[in-house]
Amino acid sequence: MPSSLLLALLAIAPAERLDLNTATLEQLRALEGITDMQADSLYSLVIETGGLENIYDASLAQGIGPAELGWLRANCRVSPRPEPSMSPAVLDVMERLAVEDGPGDAAVDEWENLLVRPMPVNSVRHWDLRLLDRVSLIDAAAVERRLNELGPVSSVTSLRGSEGLSYYGYRNLRDYVAVRELDLSSMEVFGGLRVVVDGGGGRTEGDGTLAGRLDDLRSAIVDMESGGRDYTGSPVDSSALYAQLQSSYDELASARSVTGSVQRLRIGVGDRFRGGVRLSRGRWSTAGHDLMGDLDPGGLGDTYDVAKVFGSLHDLGPVTQVVLGNYRLALGQGLMIDNTDELMNRTLYRPLGLHPDLTPTRQFALAGGACEVRTGPVVAYGFLSSASRDAILNPDGTPNMLVLSSWRTTAVADALTETTAGGYGYLDLGGILPYGTAVGAGVLDVSWSEPLVPDPGALDIPNDSEIWICREYSDMPEGDGLSVFSVSGQTVLGSVGIEGEAAFQDNEASAWLASARWQNDWFYLLGAARRYDIGYTNPYNRGFAEQARFDDTIFEKPYYLNDPTMADTQDWPTPKPEEGLYLESRFQVSRQIIFPRVYLDVWRSIPWGFENYRFQGEVEYRPVFPLRFRLKYKLQDKKKMQDLLSTHSVTHEVTLRTMVLPAGNDMFEVDLRAGIVELTPNPLYTDDRLMSGGYLGARWEHRFTPDFSMIGGTTLWTTDGMSQWEFEDTGIDFLDGNGTKFYVTLKQQISDLIQMRLRVLRKDTFYPRTGLYRPDPEDQYYAEGDPDNPVLDFGDHAASYGISCQLDLRW
């Protein structure tokens, strides 16, 4: 028999056997070697498992014994199971991104899109790679140089040896690039839907919470009712203020226990189109306040407080991107524009460029149109936006200052309309000068529908003992707009990258930042110098900073403000006027010893001339692979203005983290932290010279299978005036008093298209009480609404719970 015929028969023979993975129930029931009941069981097994891996898996079906298995082996076959549409590595990255949904992570959507449709690596420029997390200018320029000098790569791993590309940078970009060509005619649809129900994170107590803000409001109301304020000679109408306080209290009280929700839909068509919608409402959030204006369909404004939408087109000739709707723009060092509502302390990283925006940001959301153009060596951006902004109002109804509210009330919501326009252009000198070299210039123009009239008289309680001194406020913008001109430059010299930006506001104030980074596979050294004038009030400035503009000011003290909700001003996310020098390094001494991050920041507060420094050093020791110890020490020496005198604080904090990787991909971590703050004795509070605090936390992640895992964590803490911040798996928690908490998170990759995260948390806080016995009737504790009824006993225990669920669907 000719061999070709034999091969043909061999090829045909298996095909004649019934494929158990694709057989219908009727086909299985027709098999002679098994009963109908066994066929039913086998059919269920195939459906439930997604298909048998091999013929022996059939024995897992109920009733299939050795005899039946033997018969199936002889008469049936099993075809390979279909490959998942996404690789496990990509799903791992998506799982990590799934917990990041904050303004600081505005590029998460973009990263997810890139995981599905990666950048064509052979046509990337360093501008594209700067979007990615932890990819430095040196890394990005190294890739561009490699491609220009040595030609296209046949696989992404070929980039690994690129001169100047650190392993760290390579690792952070490899998932987002691929060897492929742009396919602008492709109509392949992909996207994702995220649904989150946020029943809270168990964070209901203490400052910065809704309960705290209601307490502030109530205190102000009681103060006014008891005649504790004298508005003689003040522009403030005390009865109008009282009504506003009551209204704000009622409004915020109605937000108690409100469950948060997010619905976020993203869609992409090939390499050409992207679109998305976000509707969300924060936990304990007030209603939407005229969301979408006259177009508010079906009471959306009562249900959501953020509504965003965008559509974008890509690669239209020289126009590489056009976004209509909401967008995020981050350029240069963020001095001219970076429209997040979060100031990231001590970091120079930002996802550069133009991106669609579906983040929760509202006050700094840009809504309109923006485009990116690339032609030859020119990379340019243009943008135009018109959106409402919140502002504190003066007694005469004019806006006093813009405000970023944690809980918006109608007293500040949508007080004016802001029109934002501008452009920026870079001249890429790569090829003539070293790759990564560019100079840029641009302008930003911000105008408001009503002029801002900063007036401390509207904020400060008149005739009280506190004297209003807030230099950061005195220079806040006034009038109906401002404009900013910016120049920037960057270059890469070998393994050193240098970047800088200078911005000039139309009131002659300026800001500048320059940084240099030297890196290799084991080491980097980063240095940055900055200065922000007190008059540089550009609301979109997100330059590197140690402190936000209103840190350590009167806005941290709601009881000194006419309306305590004005204390929201302390969250205004522009840097404090300061100048300073920052040094940061990472150094891998050996496989066992690493200094993951060591930094020193020395800065001077310009309004007050205070000089401060902060040092943090971390060393990690890994004696064997599954065990790591990380020791962190923080030292901060800081001064702040307190009433008429400055106070001085010195903070020491030590954290020891132990990380163990037992078998089976489990992970176990224990954190032990202790801190102490030494304060200048205050004549008013002489007993508070030393504060201390610390916690012990443990976290264990167990992977039942690669697709299903559980994280359990617990923390015990004690504080004596020094509150603690702890990183959990999905956020940062504020720890006050003494207490315990535990949480459980279940994560499941239900299929390669669906992920589910479910979290439950309980937190118990105990507040030590002193001075319960108060014989003076003027100084007794009393119950709400019943000041004549002193309370002799009360609890010191607060229990709070959080349950949340997140579902991600992708296609």
- Which residues make up the interface to other proteins (CB under 8 A)? 25, 37, 43, 45, 47-51, 197, 199, 204, 215, 218-223, 226, 253-254, 256-259, 559, 704-705, 707-708, 746, 748, 750-751, 754, 756, 758, 760, 767, 769, 778-785, 789-796, 798-799, 801, 803-805, 807
Shortest CB 215 distance to other proteins, Å: 5
Comparison of 644 and 792: residue with beta carbon closer to other proteins: 792
d(CA 578, CA 530): 8
Comparison of 43 and 717: residue with beta carbon closer to other proteins: 43
Shortest CB 787 distance to other proteins, Å: 8
Comparison of 40 and 296: residue with beta carbon closer to other proteins: 40
Question: Which residue shows structure tokens 């087109």?
Answer: 313
Comparison of 45 and 545: residue with beta carbon closer to other proteins: 45
> 3-class SS at 383?
strand
> 3-class SS at 646?
strand
CA atoms within 13 A on the CB side of 168: 16
User: What are the φ/ψ torsions at residue 488 (nearest 5 degrees)?
Assistant: -150, 165
d(CA 537, CA 555): 17
Shortest CB 282 distance to other proteins, Å: 13
Shortest CB 371 distance to other proteins, Å: 40
Contact criterion met (CB below 8 Å) for 338 and 352: no
Shortest CB 621 distance to other proteins, Å: 36
Shortest CB 789 distance to other proteins, Å: 5
d(CA 616, CA 313): 44
Comparison of 202 and 268: residue with beta carbon closer to other proteins: 202
Which distant-in-sequence residues (6+ apart) come within 8 Å of 372 by Cβ? 319, 320, 321, 322, 353, 354, 379, 380, 381
Amino acid at 523: F
Comparison of 41 and 515: residue with beta carbon closer to other proteins: 41
Rg, the chain, Cα only? 30
Comparison of 441 and 758: residue with beta carbon closer to other proteins: 758
Which distant-in-sequence residues (6+ apart) come within 8 Å of 548 by Cβ? 343, 570, 571, 572, 573, 574, 575, 576
Comparison of 43 and 544: residue with beta carbon closer to other proteins: 43
Shortest CB 668 distance to other proteins, Å: 21
Phi/psi zone of residue 457: left (φ > 0), alpha (ψ -120 to 50 degrees), beta?
alpha
Shortest CB 803 distance to other proteins, Å: 5
DSSP 95: H
Shortest CB 709 distance to other proteins, Å: 11
Comparison of 186 and 257: residue with beta carbon closer to other proteins: 257
Contact criterion met (CB below 8 Å) for 172 and 138: no
Comparison of 107 and 252: residue with beta carbon closer to other proteins: 252
> 3-class SS at 317?
coil
Shortest CB 374 distance to other proteins, Å: 42
Comparison of 253 and 650: residue with beta carbon closer to other proteins: 253
Q: Which secondary structure element, helix H or strand E, spans residue 215, and what is its range?
A: helix 210-225
Shortest CB 644 distance to other proteins, Å: 22
d(CA 489, CA 502): 9
Comparison of 288 and 573: residue with beta carbon closer to other proteins: 288
Comparison of 167 and 801: residue with beta carbon closer to other proteins: 801
Comparison of 47 and 184: residue with beta carbon closer to other proteins: 47
Contact criterion met (CB below 8 Å) for 192 and 810: yes
Amino acid at 530: R
Question: Which residue shows structure tokens 């742009």?
Answer: 182
Comparison of 724 and 804: residue with beta carbon closer to other proteins: 804
- 3-state secondary structure string, 229-289? CCCCCCCCCHHHHHHHHHHHHHHHHCCCCCCEEEEEEEEEECCCEEEEEEEEECCCCCCCC
Shortest CB 336 distance to other proteins, Å: 41
Shortest CB 792 distance to other proteins, Å: 5
Give the E-state strand segments of 103-222 in sequence order. Answer: 119-120, 177-178, 189-198
- 3-state secondary structure string, 543-568? CCECCECCCCCHHHCHHHECCHHHHH
d(CA 364, CA 341): 6
User: What are the φ/ψ torsions at residue 586 (nearest 5 degrees)?
Assistant: -130, 135
d(CA 381, CA 389): 24
Shortest CB 665 distance to other proteins, Å: 15
Q: CA geometry: angle at 665 spanning 633 and 597, to 5°?
A: 20
Comparison of 47 and 650: residue with beta carbon closer to other proteins: 47
Contact criterion met (CB below 8 Å) for 372 and 126: no
Comparison of 105 and 764: residue with beta carbon closer to other proteins: 764
Compute CA 354 distance to the chain's CA centroid, rounded to the nearest angstrom. 17
Contact criterion met (CB below 8 Å) for 511 and 417: no
Shortest CB 786 distance to other proteins, Å: 8
Pick the closest to residue 532 from 329, 336, 349, 332 (CA basis): 336
Comparison of 450 and 701: residue with beta carbon closer to other proteins: 701
Q: C-alpha distances in angstroms, 165 versus 115, 348, 436, 514, 591?
A: 21, 19, 13, 22, 20
Shortest CB 801 distance to other proteins, Å: 4
Shortest CB 299 distance to other proteins, Å: 12
Shortest CB 559 distance to other proteins, Å: 8
d(CA 630, CA 794): 42
